[in-house]
Structure 1
Amino acid sequence: MLCGTCAAPGTFALEPRPLPQTAPEGWVLVDIDAVGLCGTDFHIFEGKHPFLAYPRVIGHELSGHVAQTAAGWPKGRPVVINPYLSCGTCIACRKGKPNCCTDIAVLGVHRDGGMCARIAVPAGNLYDATGLPEGAAVLTEFLAIGAHAVRRAAPQRGDAVLVTGAGPIGLGTALFARARGAKVHLRDASAARLQAAAGFGFADLHGVEDLLPPDGFDVVFDATGNARAIQAGFAHVAHGGTYCLVSVVKDDITFSDPEFHKREMTLMGSRNATDEDFAAVMQALRDGTVDAARLISETLPLADLPARFPALVANREALIKVVVKIGGQA
């Protein structure tokens, strides 16, 4: 099979590897149908990801079908893959937070991912995708990132919410904050991203130079992946409000301690997602709360990706989600 591999920053190619025929006890072989390209993949290509060693087979937004009956999963069952492999025994896992396991291994980041025809994953990392709209399963993981952030920050109905960064993760965050009844504002330097957000019915859209409400926001989410933007966001949190950092950067983040205490601000990180978040997203896709078809900007075959990857990275502002079709390639 051919595997989409970043050998080094700026270098992406399809490398041949044997098609897996067996899986460890309790694991399941999955034939990959589609892979979503993510900001993480773009950062890997650019050499900006803080937790990655090269070479790496990318791909963590994954949908497919069970290749062989195993561990209670019947052959042919459509599945979504949770790419966060946790140890099950550390302090985070014992507290029901495997998304921030101390020894986490994320497919496509800490270990090779699913940009290939077949992959083995633990049975507990699979979700039944039966009944999802066509093409929607591959969107589940990236939407779960935003759903998890919203669940952590817990905006209430009527709260003023600011999402800074209107890329795919920010847009997903905004969709789930709105579903909770919050009044959502989106801010981005890209007019194209704000225009895309308008297509989902968001009206309170702001460029980086626009004036924002002087009282601030009950909840601010950062989804920019930009240290300067993260630091600037502290000023937009209302007194008594919450700042949730969804994006991750290599840099140190600093803020004014007097302002932080004066506002009695809550600062939190949000990492990955849990079973609860995957379930919430899949329900939202099934009932139409989230329009899957509108999220997909382009679908392309794996064979075209090496030639297209640099342009996709360069033009990411014009994209919501690019989906790579794998199918039965071997």
Structure 2
Amino acid sequence: MECRSIRINAPGEVEIIRTEIPAPGKDEALLKVLYGGICGSDLGSYRGTFAYFDYPRIPGHEFSAEIVEIDEENTYGLKKGMIVTCNPYYNCGKCYSCQRGLVNCCEHNETLGCQRDGAFSDYVVMPLERIYDGKGLPARTLALIEPFCISYHGVKRADLKAGDKVLVIGAGTIGILAAMAAKEQGGEVTICDVAQGKLDLARGFGLDRFILNHGDGTFADQVREATGANGFDVVIEAVGLPSTFENCIEAAAFGGKIVLIGVGKENLDFNFTMIQKKELNIFGSRNARKEDFEQLIELVRGGGVDLEKVVTDEYPFEEAERAFREFSENAGKMLKVVIRFAG
């Protein structure tokens, strides 16, 4: 029996290919994919700008699925018919990071859809330890848990205190989800973008302030106005450009914290002494951990966050090429784009 997969052959070139349905091995399950989200890295892969991608490759690491084949004597409590989501970050288990339990930043990390073929197929095989029960959440909502984990993990790195003034730079999906996570943790949240359309979408998420960065030198003035000239306690970078990192340095308060979630390919030449002068605390944030998935499934189940609000567009599997093309052409007007595989 054949299995359809979406493959990016080269920048701007997407096709649907046909392969055999994979067979699960020991401690693995066969999953029928229900929904998949196109994330910023997938879009970067389509455009040829993402740092961790080789062609040709099946993309996709944000997804929900139904378990269709599994050894039900497993120790994870997983059963056939469960609607699940998965941790797509494969760690080696041997490097220094893994030895210390920092599996999300494994030195040899391979993420589905980036360093190895991803989940944009009718069927995929996953290790049981990476499959998480969706606890009754709708399949489309479950496909949004992974990007929320990326944002949530980054926000946790900052160890927010209630009342902290937080700036999120980048009003794409990851930025808005980071803003939602910071708000849920008690922050007073401002979000910034260069696209008015993105900020217009962000206004529906209960945030406190909005900054349109015109690139005309008024960014610093808007930061001073928003913070009483103090700067932000926490700045979260969710774009991945040299200019947005410089914005972080500029916007952070003396003694402030900066979290870098965005991924880019460009170098930056800047006055690094500002890090010393402001005594800034700068944190990288990569991937997420099992506890992030589990905590967010419970948070969303409890009504703490309405993830569905980030979905602006949905396409059927057969229109995958159009989904990528239109997302690339209209990124300033779209947030989360999902592909409906089945269900």
Displacement, 1:255?
A: 3.5
Q: 1:154 to 1:254 in 2, by over 3 A?
A: farther
Matches within 5 A, 1:120-131: 120-131=125-136
1:3 maps to 2:8: no
Identify the residue that residue 179 of structure 2 maps to in structure 1. Answer: 174
Identify the residue that residue 27 of structure 2 maps to in structure 1. Answer: 26
**SS across alignment from 2:20:** coil
Q: 1:51 to 1:293 in 2, by over 3 A?
A: closer
Q: TM-score, normalised by structure 2?
A: 0.92
- How many correspondences in the alignment? 327
Identify the residue that residue 256 of structure 1 maps to in structure 2. Answer: 271
Identify the residue that residue 104 of structure 2 maps to in structure 1. Answer: 99
Identify the residue that residue 18 of structure 2 maps to in structure 1. Answer: 16
**SS across alignment from 1:199:** helix
Q: Which stretch shows the higher mean deviation, 63-72 or 190-199?
A: 63-72
Q: CA separation in 2, counterparts of 1:309 and 1:251?
A: 23
Matches within 5 A, 1:104-253: 104-133=109-138, 135-209=140-214, 210=219, 211-213=222-224, 214-253=229-268
Q: CA separation in 2, counterparts of 1:185 and 1:238?
A: 14
Per-residue deviation, residues 112-154 of structure 1 (Å, max 9, x unmatched): 1111111111111111002224521000000000000011111
Contact kept, 8 Å, 1:231 with 1:254, in 2: the verdict is: no
Q: 1:8 to 1:134 in 2, by over 3 A?
A: closer
Contact kept, 8 Å, 1:162 with 1:221, in 2: the verdict is: yes
- Which runs of 5 or more structure 2 residues have no equivalent in the other structure? none
1:44 maps to 2:28: no
Per-residue deviation, residues 180-200 of structure 1 (Å, max 9, x unmatched): 111001000111111111111
Percent identity reads: 32
Q: CA separation in 2, counterparts of 1:247 and 1:152?
A: 14
- Which runs of 5 or more structure 1 residues have no equivalent in the other structure? none
Displacement, 1:106?
A: 0.5
Displacement, 1:257?
A: 3.0
Per-residue deviation, residues 76-113 of structure 1 (Å, max 9, x unmatched): 11110111111122211122211111111100001111
Select which of 296, 299, 305 maps to 1:290: 305
Q: CA separation in 2, counterparts of 1:87 and 1:258?
A: 36
Q: Which stretch shows the higher mean deviation, 255-264 or 33-42?
A: 255-264
Identify the residue that residue 273 of structure 1 maps to in structure 2. Answer: 288
Q: What do you get for the CA RMSD once the two structures are aligned? A: 1.4
Contact kept, 8 Å, 2:231 with 2:252, in 1: the verdict is: yes
Per-residue deviation, residues 177-230 of structure 1 (Å, max 9, x unmatched): 111111001000111111111111113000114521221111100111222121
**SS across alignment from 1:322:** strand
Contact kept, 8 Å, 2:35 with 2:139, in 1: the verdict is: no
Select which of 72, 78, 82 maps to 1:77: 82
Per-residue deviation, residues 33-88 of structure 1 (Å, max 9, x unmatched): 11011111110001111111100001110110112123443211111011111112
Q: CA separation in 1, counterparts of 2:98 and 2:81?
A: 30
Displacement, 1:17?
A: 0.9
Identify the residue that residue 57 of structure 2 maps to in structure 1. Answer: 56
Q: CA separation in 2, counterparts of 1:127 and 1:254?
A: 42
Q: TM-score, normalised by structure 1?
A: 0.95
**SS across alignment from 2:191:** strand
